[in-house]
Structures are given as structure tokens and as C-alpha cells.
Amino acid sequence: MQDNDRAPNRGAVVLMTRATGSLGSRIVQKLAENPSVAQVVCVNRESISVSALKRQQDAFQERNIMLKPAARAKLRVLATDTAKP
């Protein structure tokens, strides 16, 4: 593939850890609202009782962070256990 054959740039994809913390939640908000960012992938700890998405939503709610639908559509929240290989 040559440089001029590449697909057009659709925006940055950002991987975030610690996205449920105070600072992390604010960074996720700013990234999701940024027009040059296409997707924000939040990697959150696994929990038996609460989904990773619910933990992220709760973090936003606790900090009065209101994402517009277009910004919310950019979020992808994954559950992970970084202690596992």
C-alpha cells in the first residue's frame, strides 16, 4: 500500500486506564468532546457485582459529568484484570 492509497484519517483512538477516578473521568470527558478524537477506549477493572460500563457511568454521575450523545457514542468501556496474563 502506498501513502496515497491509505484510508482517510478518521480521528485518534485513545486508550485510557484509571478512567473512573476523578482526574481520569475529566480526561475522558475532554477526549470524548474533542472533534479530533474518534474513540475513547476505557479499560476498567473487572467487578463481580458491577459492569465496567456501569462503573464508568457512576464515576461520571458522582462528578456531575454530563456527556452529550455524540461524545457518549465515542466511548468503549472494557472490563479487564491486569493481574492476569
Task: For residue range 11-51, list pLDDT tens digits in order.
Answer: 999 999 999 999 999 999 999 999 999 999 999 988 889 99
- What was the pLDDT predicted at 2? 45
- What was the pLDDT predicted at 48? 86
Please, where are the H alpha helices in the chain?
Answer: 22-33, 52-62, 69-72
Residue 5 has pLDDT above 60, yes or no: no
Between 28 and 85, where is the model more confident? 28
pTM assigned to the model: 0.83
Amino acid at 49: S
- What was the pLDDT predicted at 81? 84
